[in-house]
Each structure stands twice: as C-alpha cells, then as structure tokens.
Homo-oligomer: A and B are copies of this chain.
Amino acid sequence: MNQDAILQALVADKLVSAPDSARGRLLTEAARLFRDRGYERTTVRDLAAAVGIQSGSLFHHFRTKEAILKAVMVETIRLNTALMQAAVDEAQGDRAKLRALIHAELESINGLTGEAMAVLVYEWRSLSPEAQEEVLALRDIYEQLWLDVLGRLHRSGEVTADPFVVRRLLTGSLSWTVTWFQSGGKMGLSELTDQVMLSLGLID
C-alpha cells in the first residue's frame, strides 16, 4: 500500500481533508504560515489572504482560529499514524522496523507534511488544554508503534538504554532535524536515517 493510497483511504473515511478541497488548501496554507511565523504572529487576515478570501469568511469554515490549529494537528497525526503503521508492517525484523519508523518520521518531518509536523511539535502550547488532551490521545496510538519495536530490541539486548527514554531522545533528535536538514542537500533521507541508526550503535 503506497502513500497515496493511504491518504485516499483516510480522505474517503473523512478523517483528513482532501488536499485539493477548500478546507484542505486552507489547512496547508495554515500549516505553512504557522510554521514560518508561529501561530500567534499569524493573523486571520494573513490566513485569509493566503487562500484568497476575506478574513471574516474563514469563520464560515472554522469556528475559531484555534480550531484551525487543532485541525492541522489532528489531521497530521492521523495521516502519519497510518503511514507509520504501514512502514512497520512492511519491514521484516525489529531492526528493520525501527529503521522504517525512523525513516518514516524523518520523511513526515522533512517532506510534504513537514510544515504541519513542525506546527505539531512547536505550537503545542498555543492549543487550549482541552484541545491538547484530545490531540494527546491520538498521539498515544502513534507512540505505541515505537514502544513495541523498541521494547523488543531492548529485551533482545540490541538496545541497552530504556525504551521509553530512547523514544523520547529520538523524538527530540528527529523533530529537531527540521531546523537543519535540507531535503535537497547532499545528504539524503536514507543517509540521514543511517546516521541515526549509526549513532544508536545499530549498524556496525
């Protein structure tokens, strides 16, 4: 199952907006602006101008500005959880599964959904506590994928550090790549994935 098919399945279930719909385009622009300027610095007028409508018209699609932020986060998590799940299922063996997870997360951070992923990580505080809780519940599913693989690698002795700690260290490492890694640069995503595996001592 390729990435496009996964996306289309989610769109069919109305779990994420179609990228070419009015709502989808708004969310894409929102992610870009929120990432570039930050949520607070982005005004509803900026957002409206980016999709070519009046600022007031935004509130026909979303009740509040925060609802836009929340939608960006929720749809991003849903898409990436599905992509991760597929990556894990395809790979054979736990080292390969871990590598697949790392590669998939790096792809989501530095690829097409990169802007939205950066928002998810760095605009967390801008969500109200209630919205945070909702999004957190979705994240748990996502995190469990990692913990399962890391737990098995720990029991087999291939990873000596604590799985929970390793996942958290990896979360930081991988999300931080958004600040320095250039997708078009001389190091590709696969080489970066190798470097991460190397630094974990999982390649000789």
Contact = CB atoms under 8 A, between A and B. Distances in A.
A160 interface: yes
A196 B172 CA distance: 12
A165 B195 contact: yes
Interface string A90-126: 0000000000000000000000000000000010011
Interface in A152-186: 159-162, 165-166, 168-177, 180
A63 interface: no
A60 interface: no
A130 interface: no
A162 B199 CA distance: 9
A85 to B, nearest CB: 24
A37 interface: yes
Given A161-B195, A168-B176, A172-B177, A38 B37 contact: no
A129 interface: no
A172 B177 CA distance: 8
A14 interface: no
A20 to B, nearest CB: 29
The residue in A168, A199, A200 that gathers the most chain B C-beta atoms within 10 A of its C-beta is A199
A125 B169 contact: no
